[in-house]
Amino acid sequence: MKDLSYQAVMQRKNEIMKKSVGMDYDMFESGSIAFDYEAMMKDTGYTLEDIIRIQKGFSIGDTRIIELKNITELARKCAKPGKGARIFLKDEASNPSGSFKVRRAATSVYHAKKLGYKGVITATSGNYGAAVASVCAMAGLKCIVVQECFDSEGKGQPEIVEKARKCEALGAEVVQLSVGPELFYSVLLLLEETGYFNASLYTPFGIAGVESLGYELAQQFRKDYNCEPDVVVCSNAGGGNLTGTARGLKQANCKAQVVAASVNLKGLHMASDGQFNKKSFTTSHTGFGMPFATNPDRSDVPRSAARPLRYMDRYVTVNQGEVFYITEALASLEGLEKGPAGNTALAAAFYLAQEMDENQTIVVQETEYTGAGKHINPQLSFARDNGIEIFFGNPQDEVAGKNIILPQHPSMIKAVDYNMEQLRKSYIKNKVAGFNKPTAEDIKFLSEETKTNCDFVLRAIEELNK
């Protein structure tokens, strides 16, 4: 009989992960800070061409790029003369399961079946769970989705409850938990008990699956518009969306600036029972985006393949009211109802387009399906029920957990830059903690991780030692 206490299960984490992913992470370690990231990515055994072929077998990909002509015109009315880039979005909601995350799921599920696993397990608030459930249904594998859904009073966020319905509709067994540390523990227990494959969001299989999105985006844009996008905006939470997309753009030799966008939930703690239902966004927010950028290996695998600081050129935040507003604008001006995650990037793109020239282009690289609890009406109703004030005003005055301020005019939508130097230094601080003398290999690794250079890393370490 194995010891099932929290401490004992966590001590078996690496052993459980090795069996459930089929990958030995120790192979890539240096014994210090650095590890061989590219070798880990290649260890999937699948090329980009293989991944595109696998995804096509599940009817995934070849999603449209849509020019948002009316929203572009609105942005130009808010911009200075000659400003207002053309705004586009890649309609990933047209994939099976309704989001880009099915690209992530396809590689994992295909690999699980190839290795003879009988089922797949994933921990997610929902969109990825629906993606895994969808591909498992096509592949004939069992699927278990583990969700943090409720606070201690049993109140579930409407968006998460809707995603659970979607997962179940696609044939998955959904295990719903209250917020807290038991999520990862519960997943480890299930992996050990069932012997299923771990379709983590953060394995190389998942991130490699998103590379097809960036590659496809670049190739489509060249073909349809005879140019390359100047800016690609990615909704950012755990970093896999941005990482995979940027790697795909790079493989297509596309030089577009990559911008991360998150909803500003400053002051709310994601693992706090009392604050769990004070937010109106369950993903693409700073509660995931910031900590996963500065410490990506906090994920459920020994080394995360989602490493957004390697690829982002800029990080901006928008407020909840601004995302709700642009969601309604997308529906009323373009006839497109989409879920909240992609609209986070769209809110940022609406503002960023006003900084750019009219002959430039900006692309929101994903959309997601909407419906039931994901729609803005139940989200705002739930917010009111939890004591959140909702009114029109200046969204820059919004305080997460206290109010949601819808802009009185679209010109009030602002994307606020986060200090990239501070973000990079925070990452370096987290990595050098406990290491008195980083090696030359470590310094080089940290420069790649932060998209800087060795001099920047050495100066940052010197500041830490003062």
Which tens digits make up the pLDDT trace of 210-261? 999 999 999 999 999 999 999 999 999 999 999 999 999 999 999 999 999 9
Query: What confidence tens digit (pLDDT) does each residue in 345-377 have?
Result: 999 999 999 999 999 999 999 999 998 888 999
Q: Are residues 84 and 37 in the same domain?
A: no
Residues 103 and 242 in one domain: no
Span 239-251, pLDDT tens digits: 999 999 999 999 9
Average pLDDT (159-182) is: 90
pLDDT higher at 198 or 276: 198
**Do the domain assignments include residue 12?**
yes
Give the range of the structural domain holding residue 48, as residue numbers without chain letter. Answer: 6-54+99-204
Judgement on whether residues 285 and 163 belong to the same structural domain of the protein: no
Is the separation of the CB atoms in 24 and 17 below 8 Å?
Answer: no
pLDDT of res. 368: 95
Q: How many CA atoms lie within 13 A of 150 on its CB side?
A: 8
Q: Where are the alpha helices (DSSP H) in 386-439?
A: 420-432
In a domain, 46, yes or no: yes
Residues 161 and 65 in one domain: no
| Inside any domain, residue 143 | yes
Are 332 and 350 in the same domain? yes
429 and 411, same structural domain?
A: no
Question: Is 259 part of any domain?
Answer: yes
Minimal CA–CA distance to 67: which of 318, 330, 345, 262? 330
101-114 and 127-139 helices, crossing angle to 10°: 40
Question: Looking at the structure, do residues 152 and 254 belong to the same domain, yes or no?
Answer: no
Residues 196 and 269 in one domain: no
Give the pLDDT band of residue 399 (cuts 50, 70, 90).
very high
Mean pLDDT confidence for 140-144 = 98
Q: What is the mean pLDDT of residues 420-435?
A: 94
Instruction: Answer whether residue 1 is part of any domain.
Output: no
- The last residue of one of the domains, among 173, 189, 204, is 204
Same-domain status, 221 and 105: no
Count helices and strands in the chain by DSSP H and E runs: 18, 13
Q: How far apart are the first and last CA of the chain?
A: 51
Number of domains in the chain: 3
**Residue given tokens 């599940």 in the structure block:** 58
> Region 388-404: what's the mean pLDDT?
97
Of residues 179 and 292, the one with the higher pLDDT is: 292
Predicted pLDDT of residue 14? 82
Q: Does residue 124 have a pLDDT over 90?
A: no
Higher per-residue pLDDT: 155 or 313: 313
Domain of residue 256, CATH code: 3.40.50.1100
Percent of the chain with pLDDT over 70: 100
Structure tokens at 58: 């599940």
Looking at the structure, tell me whether residues 275 and 133 fall in a common domain: no
Q: pTM for the full model?
A: 0.96
Q: Which residues contact 163 (CB under 8 A, 6 or more apart)?
A: 125, 126, 127, 129, 130, 147, 373, 374
Q: Same domain for 175 and 45?
A: yes
Same-domain check for residues 365 and 453: no
